[in-house]
A = this chain, B = another copy of it.
Amino acid sequence: MTAIYRRAALIGMGLIGSSMALAMRERGLVDEIACNAKSLRTRTTAAELGLADQVCDTPEEAVRGADLVVLCTPVGTFRELAERIAPELETGATLTDVGSVKKRVVESVGGLVPRDVHFIPAHPLAGTEFSGPESGFSTLFDNRWCLLTPSKDVDEAALSRLISLWTAMGASTEIMDPDHHDLVLAVTSHAPHLIAYTMVGLADHIKRVTNSEVVKYSAAGFRDFTRIAASDPTMWRDVFLGNRDATIEILGRFTEELFALQRAIRTGDGEHLHEYFSRTREIRRGIVDAGQDTSAPDFGRLPSRKN
Contacts and interface: CB of A to CB of B under 8 A. Distances in A.
Interface stretch (A35-43, A86-94, A218-226): A218-226
Contacts of A281: 229-231, 233
A274 interface: yes
Interface in A173-201: 180, 183-185, 187-201
A284 interface: yes
10 contacts: A129-B284, A190-B221, A194-B262, A198-B254, A223-B293, A224-B224, A226-B284, A229-B283, A236-B277, A299-B300
Q: Chain copies in the assembly?
A: 2
Interface centre among A188, A206, A254, A258 (most CB of B within 10 A): A188
Nearest to A194: B261
Contacts of A231: 277, 281
Interface string A225-268: 11111110110111011001001101101110110011001101
Contacts of A221: 188-190, 192-193, 196, 228
Interface string A3-28: 00000000000000000000000000
B305 A143 contact: yes
Interface string A264-288: 0110101001101111110111110
Contacts of A85: none
B273 A236 contact: yes
A298 B195 contact: no
B248 A262 contact: yes
Contact of A237 (B189, B251, B270, B285): B270
A185 B221 CA distance: 9
B253 A255 contact: no
B241 A251 contact: no
A224 to B, nearest CB: 5
Given A192-B199, A201-B279, A306-B170, A297 B128 contact: yes
Contacts of A238: 270
Interface of A: 76, 125-130, 135, 137, 139, 142-145, 147, 170, 180, 183-185, 187-206, 208-209, 211, 213-231, 233-234, 236-238, 240-241, 244, 247-248, 250-251, 253-255, 257-258, 261-262, 265-266, 268, 270, 273-274, 276-281, 283-287, 290-294, 297-300, 302, 304-307
Contact of A187 (B188, B196, B203): B203
A189 B203 contact: no
Contacts of A193: 221
A291 to B, nearest CB: 7
Nearest to A240: B265
A159 B305 CA distance: 25
B127 A253 contact: no
